[in-house]
């Protein structure tokens, strides 16, 4: 005659975490954990049966409690990461993780000027010459050279038709074909090309068409 064993499983957010011997232990464990955690954690008790004694890996209440608390910390940390990720602006599914420079906006997208033949196709951010310029998202450098009125220009392809352009730089630290990661320093602020002072001219293009960078950054 086969023996049937009974034990109790504690699930956290529908994931099996620990096993204890009795319902009383399970209830005490769940009650203690809920008291010590203000977060809304889904804890459930599942009664289990098995004829394979090796499947049973029950633990004492304190050991089980500590391991469940560690799991809850991991869950909360993941929630924080997901919340922060939701706040990161994106365009065509590409996350724009950070601003390329900190400075003062000196010319907005769409503005007119005697210096230009058409309205402004990007956003100018004034900053001291030599200020590091960071790439806003992961991608591949597709242009890094002098380009007429843009001066020293870097273009980065981020996929999904999204490119960012960084113009008027004093120095360029990346070359065509180079892979870059969000936050990498790719250039330094300058005033090359058609420019009257040190600043970064930032463009965001979707399938070749420029869009207002302030829809995503420097809001």
Q: Mark whether 146 and 167 lie in a shared domain.
A: yes
Give 26-56 pLDDT, tens digit per residue: 888 888 888 887 667 788 888 888 888 777 7
The predicted model gives 82-109 an average pLDDT of: 90
CB 134 within 8 A of CB 101: yes
Residue 134 pLDDT class (50, 70, 90 cuts): very high
The predicted model gives 202-215 an average pLDDT of: 96
pLDDT for position 114? 55
Segment among 20-24, 96-100, 172-176 with least mean pLDDT:
20-24
CB 68 within 8 A of CB 37: no
CB 59 within 8 A of CB 99: no
Token couple for 79: 């929630």
Q: Mark whether 111 and 78 lie in a shared domain.
A: no
Residue 115 pLDDT class (50, 70, 90 cuts): low
Query: Is this structure's pTM higher than 0.75?
Result: no
Burial 134-166 (b: 16+ CB within 10 A, else e): bbbbbbebebbeebeebbbbbbbebeeebbbbb
Query: The domain containing residue 189 runs over which residues?
Result: 91-215
Q: Mark whether 43 and 113 lie in a shared domain.
A: no
Give 64-83 pLDDT, tens digit per residue: 888 888 888 888 888 887 88
Mean pLDDT of the chain: 89
Domain boundary among 37, 60, 87: 87
Q: Mark whether 71 and 119 lie in a shared domain.
A: no
Q: Mark whether 164 and 102 lie in a shared domain.
A: yes
Residue 116 pLDDT class (50, 70, 90 cuts): low
pLDDT for position 1? 62
Segment among 3-7, 32-36, 112-116, 172-176 with least mean pLDDT:
112-116
Q: What distances in angstroms separate CA 38 from CA 28, 42, 45, 78, one per listed residue? A: 17, 12, 19, 16
Q: Mark whether 103 and 198 lie in a shared domain.
A: yes
Residue 196 has pLDDT above 60, yes or no: yes
Residue 176 has pLDDT above 90, yes or no: yes
**Strand 15-20 relative to strand 5-12: parallel, antiparallel, unpaired?**
antiparallel
pLDDT for position 199? 97
pLDDT for position 111? 83
Q: What are the φ and ψ backbone dihedral angles of 65, each rounded to 5 degrees?
A: -60, -45
Domain boundary among 87, 104, 128: 87
pLDDT for position 66? 85
Q: Mark whether 80 and 136 lie in a shared domain.
A: no
pLDDT for position 210? 95
Q: Mark whether 36 and 57 lie in a shared domain.
A: yes
């Amino acid at each position: 005659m086969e023996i049937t064993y009974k034990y109790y499983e504690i699930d956290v957010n529908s994931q099996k975490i620990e096993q204890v011997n009795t319902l009383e232990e399970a209830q005490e464990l769940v009650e203690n954990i809920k008291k010590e955690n203000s977060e809304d954690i889904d804890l459930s008790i599942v009664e289990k049966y098995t004829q394979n004694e090796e499947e049973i890996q029950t633990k004492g209440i304190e050991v089980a409690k500590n391991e469940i608390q560690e799991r809850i910390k991991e869950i909360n940390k993941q929630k924080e990461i997901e919340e922060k990720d939701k706040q990161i602006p994106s365009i065509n599914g590409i996350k724009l993780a950070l601003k390329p420079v900190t400075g003062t906006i000196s010319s907005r997208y769409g503005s007119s000027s005697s210096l230009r033949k058409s309205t402004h196709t990007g956003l100018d951010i004034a900053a001291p010459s030599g200020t590091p310029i960071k790439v806003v998202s992961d991608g591949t450098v597709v242009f890094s050279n002098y380009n007429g009125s843009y001066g020293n220009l870097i273009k980065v392809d981020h996929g999904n038709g999204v490119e960012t352009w960084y113009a008027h730089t004093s120095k360029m630290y990346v070359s065509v074909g180079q892979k870059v990661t969000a936050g990498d320093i790719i250039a330094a602020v300058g005033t090359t090309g058609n420019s009257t002072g040190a600043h970064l001219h930032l463009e965001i293009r979707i399938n070749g068409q420029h869009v207002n960078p302030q829809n995503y950054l420097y809001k």
